């Protein structure tokens, strides 16, 4: 029995399902989740001392690779001064200034402790600001696990087959209108009918919770237009793609400015962090400036701010995103070649350092329905084959993959060689 098997058995006694977040449980790929004890650069080491090339990167934050020496040093130094104050600290202002300097659409920003908190509060703020209750989201997009947003959601909810969770009051769910992602015509039709009742549209501008799905040409622009016409607030959930597909995230990449943006992952440098920010006119409605309430004991935690600021500094280096994008492209060209050589129907998506792969006859996958049509049995076999070869990928066909700046050419070539071997067994 491996140590992971023993640890998983032990974990199930007091932790529901043995995990503290469902997508970790390997439910859709089967088998035992790997328990890790260390991470450095592009690698993970499991409890049995096996090393893996990692393309999960803690679900995105590890853009600099794991345990980057400068981030670790900053965290250690900051920790000497105390872990939490529950009172204002200078570094929170430094972080707010930094975000506003990098992201033109953000005039004010509030730090929280997770992406879920950020999106949940952005929704409340949009409702408070507009005085409207209905919200629009898209099937397959995941915006954390707050009640209003767990309706036809992606990520672990979809992986486990419960995209609309029990426990969400029907009355609340009925205020969430779920539309087809990337269908601009449907958005226009719905807004022509009820646009004036809608508080906000929330969208992952690059959807990373139903694999990796970029916006179709004009989709984000349509969202901007219908929000301008109806007075609804446009929220970009950039928890995953923010500071990942480019320094200015998806809004910089596609040139569409939202009213509010939510963040997490990269801005915490691996620590638990979230943020929401945007137009001053809207953000002024947040307490204590305005009446819309939001709070958090650990919000703006100094250690998390230090890790995040150091990460933002390092990813702001010239050519950082060009290099990250080139590494990701090299990986995907290699995977495609490996599949083609083995005669396996396969295609990939990429936006900057974020990627997806599909066992599918179709190309240019841009719709949720197409993702669901992928060959899930092949995905599972490929997943376990790669795991066996020492490559750690997301254990779900509904999650994006992430490359870090520490993935070397050798790591990527090793990954492609592993894929070539595994593809032949499918
Ligand atoms: N897609 C999720 C996060 O972005 C996966 C991580 C989790 O739910 O534990």
Q: Tens of pLDDT along 98-149? A: 999 999 999 999 999 999 999 999 999 999 999 999 999 999 999 999 998 9
Residue 141, CA distances (Å) to 17, 39, 203, 268 in order: 24, 29, 7, 22
Number of domains in the chain: 2
Angle at the Cα of 83 from the Cα atoms of 78 and 84, rounded to 5 degrees: 120
Question: Where is the domain boundary, 271, 289, 315?
Answer: 315
Judge if the beta carbon of residue 156 lies within 6 A of ligand 1. yes
> What would the pLDDT profile of 282-313 be if each residue is shown by its tens digit?
999 999 999 999 999 999 999 999 999 999 99
Judge if the beta carbon of residue 21 lies within 6 A of ligand 1. yes
What residue has token string 């990520």? 155
- Omega before 33 within 30 of 0, i.e. cis: no
Known catalytic residue at 43: no
Whole-angstrom distance, CA of residue 57 vs CA of residue 6: 24
> What would the pLDDT profile of 24-72 be if each residue is shown by its tens digit?
999 999 999 999 999 999 999 999 999 999 999 999 999 999 999 999 9
Question: Which of these is catalytic: 152, 265, 310, 327?
Answer: 265
Co-location of 204 and 105 in the same domain: yes
C-alpha 156 to ligand 1 mean position (Å): 7
Provide the CATH number for the domain around residue 287.
3.40.640.10
What pTM value is reported for the model? 0.97
Whole-angstrom distance, CA of residue 66 vs CA of residue 40: 5
Residue from 155, 270, 395 whose mutation best tests the ligand 1 pocket (most atoms within 8 A of CB): 155
Q: What is the ipTM of this complex?
A: 0.97
C-alpha 14 to ligand 1 mean position (Å): 21
Question: Where is the domain boundary, 315, 331, 356?
Answer: 315
Question: Where is the domain boundary, 315, 337, 366?
Answer: 315
Task: Give the residue from 287, 238, 233, 239 showing the smallest Cα distance to 265.
Answer: 239
Co-location of 198 and 248 in the same domain: yes
Known catalytic residue at 265: yes
C-alpha 24 to ligand 1 mean position (Å): 8
Structure-block tokens of residue 200: 């906000």
Co-location of 63 and 161 in the same domain: no
């Amino acid at each position: 029995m491996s140590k992971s098997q023993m640890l998983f058995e032990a974990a199930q006694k007091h932790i529901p399902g043995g995990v503290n977040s469902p997508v970790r449980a390997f439910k859709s790929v089967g088998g035992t989740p790997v328990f890790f004890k260390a991470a450095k650069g592009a690698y993970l080491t499991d409890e049995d001392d096996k090393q893996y090339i990692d393309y999960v990167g803690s679900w995105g934050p590890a853009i600099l690779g794991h345990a980057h020496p400068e981030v670790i040093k900053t965290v250690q130094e900051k920790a000497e001064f105390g872990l939490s104050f529950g009172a204002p600290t200078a570094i929170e202002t430094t972080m707010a200034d930094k975000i506003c300097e990098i992201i033109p659409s953000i005039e004010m920003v509030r730090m929280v402790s997770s992406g879920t908190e950020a999106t949940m509060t952005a929704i409340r703020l949009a409702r408070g600001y507009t005085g409207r209750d209905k919200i629009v989201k898209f099937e397959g997009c995941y915006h954390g696990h707050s009640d209003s947003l767990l309706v036809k959601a992606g990520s672990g909810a979809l992986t486990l087959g419960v995209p609309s969770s029990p426990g969400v009051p029907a009355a609340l769910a009925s205020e969430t209108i779920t539309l087809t992602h990337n269908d601009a015509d449907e958005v226009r039709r719905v807004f022509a009918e009820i646009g004036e009742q809608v508080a906000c549209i929330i969208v992952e501008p690059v959807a990373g919770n139903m694999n990796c799905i970029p916006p179709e040409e004009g989709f984000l622009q349509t969202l901007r237009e219908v929000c301008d016409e109806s007075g609804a607030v446009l929220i970009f959930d950039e928890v995953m793609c923010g500071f990942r597909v480019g320094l200015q995230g998806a809004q910089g990449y596609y040139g569409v400015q939202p009213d509010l943006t939510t963040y997490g992952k990269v801005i915490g440098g691996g620590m638990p962090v979230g943020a929401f920010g945007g137009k001053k006119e809207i953000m002024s409605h947040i307490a204590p400036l305005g009446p819309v309430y939001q709070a958090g004991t650990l919000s703006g935690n100094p250690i998390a701010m230090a890790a995040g600021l150091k990460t933002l500094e390092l990813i702001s280096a010239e050519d950082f995103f060009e290099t990250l994008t080139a590494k990701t492209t090299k990986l995907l060209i290699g995977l495609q070649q490996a599949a083609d050589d083995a005669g396996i129907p396969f295609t990939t998506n990429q936006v900057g350092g974020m990627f997806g792969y599909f066992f599918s006859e179709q190309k240019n996958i841009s719709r949720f329905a197409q993702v669901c049509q992928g060959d899930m049995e092949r995905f599972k076999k490929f997943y376990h084959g790669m795991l066996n070869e020492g490559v750690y990928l997301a254990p779900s066909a509904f999650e994006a993959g992430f490359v870090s700046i520490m993935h070397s050419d050798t790591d990527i070539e090793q990954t492609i060689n592993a894929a070539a071997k595994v593809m032949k067994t499918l």
